[in-house]
Structure 1
Amino acid sequence: MRAMVLEEIGKPLVMVERPISDPLAGQISLRVEACAVCRTDLHVVDGDLPQPRLPLVPGHEIVGVVEAVGAGVDQARIGRRVGVPWLGHTCGTCFYCRSEAENLCDAPLFTGYTRDGGFATNVVADADYAFDLDPAGDPVALAPLLCAGLIGWRSLKRAGEGRRIGLYGFGAAAHIIAQICTWQEREVYAFTRPGDVTAQRFARELSAVWAGTSDEAPPELLDAAIIFAPVGPLVPRALQAVRKGGRVVCGGIHMSDIPAMPYALIWGERELLSIANLTRQDAREFFEIAARAGVHTRTSVYPLDEANAALDDLRNGRLSGAAVLVP
């Protein structure tokens, strides 16, 4: 198999040849069809997230076909198309796992961070954390749903039932969740980095009722805001944009420091929440909702050996939608 490997933090990935690993008990082996590139991959490669397992194959928005199964896994899964997300394993015994909060597990494994991921031609995953996908679907279009979609969905659930939803950072996650919001008959207000007219135009194409820069105030107070951009100063701006009793949800795994802010921004029973990982229940809900809503993803395709270019384009804001690697 071929894989793009992170050997040293802050250095480009390196293409290597490896033997294909046999699946252990409870595992499946996949031939990768597509793997989307997530901002979390940037946080891993750039060293924002501590102690990744090195050397490491990044990538956690994996679509592939099952080629082999380990002991205890139904042989009928061979030949099926499945998706493998960020949450790759949980202990099942800690307080959080026993409280239906496996996303907060004390001893998890994360795909493309503490175990090898999908920037490769083949990958091994836990069978219980791989989800059956539409066999007739386009693997490139499906790949961004495995994290951008799932984390976006969990963020939207935490945002509540409000009608006016602000999305800060209109990238892979926001362009998926904007479609869900429109299907739910909510209003989307899109906030982009200053000068990014392309992202603003993209948001309007997806039925956003307003699109502007992150330093602008929306024309109406929001019921809730979701921050996908890893930019701490957006937190006080979003709090200022929501009504009393509104919520601001931080949807990323990493964010720069939140600046000091006056208590008045959170007074009025405004809530500030964070999202951590996902649960398998989130996935079961989301894939059904995405199909009913007719979600489509905008993607830019890169061959596997151009993973560094895809990461660099994401890092520098040159993408509209999601980058997807295809072996």
Structure 2
Amino acid sequence: MTQVEAYAALGPGQPLVPWSYEIQQLQPNEVLVRVRACGICHSDVHMIDNDWGFARYPLVPGHEVVGEVVAVGPLVTHLSPGMRVGIGWQRSSCGQCEDCLRGQDHLCDQSQGVITHGHGGFASHLAVDARYCFPLPNELPTEAAGPLLCGGITVYSALRAAGMGSGLRIGIIGMGGLGHMAIQFASRLGNHVTAFTTTEAKAREAAQLGAHDAILIRNDQPSRRPDRPLHIILNTAPVPTPVEPYLDLLASDGVLCYVGAPTAPISVPIFPLLVKRRRIMGSPIGSRATILEMLENAARFGVLPRVETFPMSKVNDALNRVRQNQVRYRAVLLA
């Protein structure tokens, strides 16, 4: 039995308070992890506030976890006590459906989230299906690795699904928690990156992160065209943006991909899709195989989120800064 000391929301929108629970016994396929660091994602805020309508309280948020394995179930053979691991959004999947069998378990209809179907990483420990607990390369520091397991895999998986290899022209809309990692992945894997952002200061930061060009957004539209049409545009912005101006910047067979969830429906003109065979897609997190690939590339090419760290005891201060968009670019709690 393990006594877990956590921080939980007892109701929608409430500040987090100390709360404890017991893990009586690990399931045969589970692993128990001692939390060393945990990122704060906007999805944690949405769950605390029950914006999506399925939060269950007491709610222990946290799904960008870095920690140390302290115990494993009898069926777990690839992890052992003492290993440093990361845990992201997904807790489990059925393992039997068509999506799971083709290696796309993150699309499983029975997929379970770390904080939607259990308690998360704003805590001393958590237990999770060992399939969704990933050994971390030594090159990834504990305080920065967590956001890669959610925001990092979200943008990496989307870019891969949209066709990213190397030698392409890729646009990134937004320079926030997702966009600043997308710029790094796209540029360091050998692509020409154009950032679309709202301020000169963010344009300069985009260049420091690896963007080759930056186009300012004025009145919700790009202020100019890139020198050549783009093969992929990844929209990381969580607010509604007009579709047509960005479709018009795509090359033939270009892809406009959404990972930021707009707060209102988008209007899509069909003619720009027809004439150049363009397409629009969305993308969630990534499969286990893609997560391992992402971690390997992040370590090899030095892709790291920029983080601000807070003691776990200051969780409400950190959450308030995230709510007010005062963190550049990711907040991380340290145990």
Q: TM-score, normalised by structure 1?
A: 0.90
Instruction: Determine which of 12, 15, 37 is the counterpart of 2:18.
Output: 15
Q: Is 1:297 matched up with 2:305?
A: yes
1:93 — aligned with what?
96
Q: Is 1:257 matched up with 2:260?
A: no
What pairs up with 1:170-185 in 2 under 5 angstroms? 170-185=175-190
Instruction: For residues 226-265 of structure 1, give each alpha carbon's deviation from its aligned partner in whole angstroms, at most 9, with x where no partner exists.
Output: 111222325444323323321011114x432233343234
1:56 — aligned with what?
59
Contact 1:15 1:305 in 2 (8 A): no
Instruction: Please tell me the residue identity of whatever aligns with 1:256.
Output: T
Contact 1:21 1:124 in 2 (8 A): no
2:137 — aligned with what?
134
2:115 — aligned with what?
112
Instruction: Determine which of 24, 28, 34 is the counterpart of 1:31.
Output: 34
Deviates more, 1:221-230 or 1:197-206: 197-206
2:196 — aligned with what?
191
2:169 — aligned with what?
164
| Percent of paired sites with the same residue | 32
* Count of residues in Structure 1 that have an aligned counterpart in Structure 2: 324
Instruction: Determine which of 211, 224, 240 is the counterpart of 2:232.
Output: 224
2:327 — aligned with what?
319
Q: Is 1:124 matched up with 2:130?
A: no
RMSD over aligned Cα atoms: 2.2
Stretches of structure 2 that go unaligned for 5 or more consecutive residues are none
Deviates more, 1:200-209 or 1:24-33: 200-209
Task: Give the Cα separation in 2 of the matches to 1:76 and 1:128.
Answer: 10
**Residues 9, 237 of structure 1: CA spacing in aligned structure 2 closer, same or farther, 3 A cutoff?**
farther
Task: Give the Cα separation in 1 of the matches to 2:13 and 2:249.
Answer: 36
Task: Give the Cα separation in 2 of the matches to 1:190 and 1:308.
Answer: 32
Instruction: Please tell me the residue identity of whatever aligns with 2:42.
Output: R
Instruction: For residues 128-165 of structure 1, give each alpha carbon's deviation from its aligned partner in whole angstroms, at most 9, with x where no partner exists.
Output: 11011135742112111111111111011022246221
2:292 — aligned with what?
284
Deviant stretches of 4+, over 6 Å: none
Instruction: Please tell me the residue identity of whatever aligns with 1:219.
Output: P
**Residues 311, 228 of structure 1: CA spacing in aligned structure 2 closer, same or farther, 3 A cutoff?**
farther
2:281 — aligned with what?
273
Contact 1:300 1:324 in 2 (8 A): yes
Task: Give the Cα separation in 1 of the matches to 2:27 and 2:243.
Answer: 44
Task: Give the Cα separation in 2 of the matches to 1:137 and 1:293.
Answer: 11
Instruction: Please tell me the residue identity of whatever aligns with 1:258.
Output: P
Task: Give the Cα separation in 2 of the matches to 1:67 and 1:148.
Answer: 26
Contact 2:69 2:81 in 1 (8 A): yes
Q: Is 1:206 matched up with 2:209?
A: yes
Contact 1:31 1:121 in 2 (8 A): yes
Deviates more, 1:260-269 or 1:295-304: 260-269
Task: Give the Cα separation in 1 of the matches to 2:152 and 2:285.
Answer: 12
**Residues 21, 318 of structure 1: CA spacing in aligned structure 2 closer, same or farther, 3 A cutoff?**
farther
Contact 2:155 2:259 in 1 (8 A): yes
Task: Give the Cα separation in 2 of the matches to 1:306 and 1:67.
Answer: 25
Deviates more, 1:65-74 or 1:19-28: 19-28
Shift of 1:99: 3.0
